[in-house]
Structure 1
Amino acid sequence: MAISRNIAATYRGPGRVVSRLMTMGPREDRALAYLMGACALIFVAQLPRLAREAHLSGEDLNMLMGATLMAWIFIAPLMFYCIALLARVVARLFGGKGTGYGARLALFWALLASTPLLLLHGLVAGFIGPGIQLQLVGLLWCGCFVWFWVSGTLAQERAA
């Protein structure tokens, strides 16, 4: 199934999508591609906010974009690998039967599947700015991300 269809299906049943992805076999290159794709989309989502910030403060937009690119493309993936490791350790303490690959896949897929909401968040931050609208979209993204991650983690922990 195409990634876009899987993302749409995740909003209907995140556990089923992660289970289906797990049946394709452990492919670390696929998990890394999901993570890097999500990080690249998150970087793109930050651009309207950065442009607004640069315009209002008089800072150089290129400097802001460079720092954000460094953070999301080089540093964030390492942090997400560490978070997945911690999630796997916690699941193992509670008797989970999943794998390290499954923990990474559940986290990375949750991040990728929730990026449409992050793109909306970036647009709201860039065009409207700080306010209740930005907070509501951020809360919606946070809720969906946690829902996707927890559902995917539970599915992969039970499947193994």
Structure 2
Amino acid sequence: MALTTDIAATYRGPGAVMRRLLALGRREDRALAILMGACVVMFIAQWPRLARDAHLQDLNLQMEMGGALLGTIFILPLVFYGLAGLVHLGMKLFGGLGDAYGSRLALFWALLAASPLALLYGLVAGFVGQGAQLTIVGLVWFVAFMWFWISGLRVVHRGQAA
């Protein structure tokens, strides 16, 4: 399926999409591409907020964007790989049946699938700024991300992938 179709399908049933992704076979390049795509979208989502901050606080926008680029494209993927590894070890401690690849894929897919809400969060941060609206959108993004991630981990570690 197309990537956008899979993202939309994740909002209806994240477990089914995770099973379909796992059925495509173990491909680390696919997992890395999904993670990098999510990180690129998260970088783009920061642009409105960065532009607002640069304008209101008289900051250099290029410097702000450079820092955001370094953080989201180069450092954040390493953090997510580490987080996926720690969560995988925790799942194995509690009897999980899945492998490390499945744990990574569940996290990376949850990030990419929740990325439309990250874009909305960035728009609200850029156009509205701090306030209740930003908090609500951030909470919706976090809940969707956790729902996708936990659903993916359940598929991976309960042996439902086959």
Same fold (TM over 0.5): yes
CA–CA separation in structure 2 for the residues paired with 1:87 and 1:98? 11
AA paired with 2:35?
Answer: L
Alignment partner, residue 135 of structure 1: 135
1:86 deviation in Å? 0.5
Alignment partner, residue 120 of structure 2: 120
Alignment partner, residue 144 of structure 2: 144
- Provide the alpha-carbon RMSD of the alignment: 0.6
AA paired with 1:151?
Answer: S
Report 1:9-28 matches (<5 A): 9-28=9-28
1:118 deviation in Å? 0.3
Alignment partner, residue 78 of structure 2: 78
2:96 partner SS:
coil
AA paired with 1:153?
Answer: L
CA–CA separation in structure 2 for the residues paired with 1:92 and 1:17? 23
Deviation sequence 1:24-73 (CA, Å, 0-9, x none): 11000000000000000000000000000000000100000000000000
CA–CA separation in structure 1 for the residues paired with 2:124 and 2:24? 37
TM (normalized to structure 2)?
0.98
CA–CA separation in structure 2 for the residues paired with 1:19 and 1:82? 23
TM (normalized to structure 1)?
0.99
Counting matched residue pairs gives 160
1:15 deviation in Å? 1.0
2:8 partner SS:
helix
**Segments ≥4 residues shifted beyond 3 Å:** none
2:12 partner SS:
coil
AA paired with 1:28?
Answer: E
1:158 deviation in Å? 1.8
Unaligned runs of 5+ in 1: none
AA paired with 1:33?
Answer: A
Alignment partner, residue 50 of structure 1: 50
AA paired with 2:5?
Answer: R
CA–CA separation in structure 2 for the residues paired with 1:157 and 1:18? 12
CA–CA separation in structure 2 for the residues paired with 1:57 and 1:145? 31
1:80 deviation in Å? 0.2
**Percent identity between the two aligned chains:** 59
1:109 deviation in Å? 0.1
